[in-house]
Amino acid sequence: MNYLIVDTTENTGRMYIGEGGENCNLEENAMVFATEKEACEKIEKNGWGDWASTMETDYPVNSDGYIYHGTGKGQALNIQRDGYMKPNKTGEEQPSISFTNDLDYAKYHAKSKGGVSKMCILRTKLTDDYQLSPRIVNNKGDEYITFKNVPSSELEVMTMGDSWQPLDTWNVIFNEPLNT
């Protein structure tokens, strides 16, 4: 069992507490702690004791706050060229873009797009623009979707050295900085 922090005065419809202490309306965007002690320490450290408490959750601890998208290098080039990632028909009621909080799953999906040599992993911060896909039963972050364009300026790409670089400044074909 993991723990998250909730606003006990909740009058905004946004009862969960995000990384910066802001209220958020989705449980999956909240800070999730492995122990109740960690959550209580965060409340105490930030002086939130008058209005915050802990709550049990089944959501996994997502320490970095990112979600991932596995694709091919060609698609990544299109995103760079267009300046955004656009929703596609993915089985949802309307076109959407799928992400996951499981980096290994994103890598698996990217490999299926053309093999190891053509795979590309993108990531973005998990915000209220993303929601859990209703297609997956008991979805704990396996698939997040958005119905909005995702600007390339909000995306980072995984390099061959497993570091992250802004997509807008990285040559995904040659795995090096773009000449600017």
> The domain that contains 116 carries what CATH number?
3.90.210.10
If one counts the domains in the chain, the total is 2
Per-residue pLDDT of 37-55, as tens digits, reads 878 888 888 888 888 888 8
Do 167 and 81 share a domain, yes or no? yes
Domain boundary among 57, 80, 99: 57
Q: Where is pLDDT greater, at 12 or 146?
A: 146
Cα 53 to chain centroid distance, Å, stands at: 25
* Contact yes or no for 33/4 (Cβ under 8 A): yes
By percentage, how much of the chain surpasses pLDDT 90? 31
Which residues, listed in sequence order, are joined to residue 123 by a DSSP beta bridge? 68, 156
Do 73 and 41 share a domain, yes or no? no
Do 153 and 120 share a domain, yes or no? yes
Per-residue pLDDT of 63-93, as tens digits, reads 567 889 999 999 999 999 999 999 988 666 7
pLDDT recorded at residue 26: 65
Question: Any alpha helices (H) in 6-53, and if so which ranges?
Answer: 36-46
* Contact yes or no for 69/79 (Cβ under 8 A): no
Do 171 and 96 share a domain, yes or no? yes
Domain housing 38: 2-57
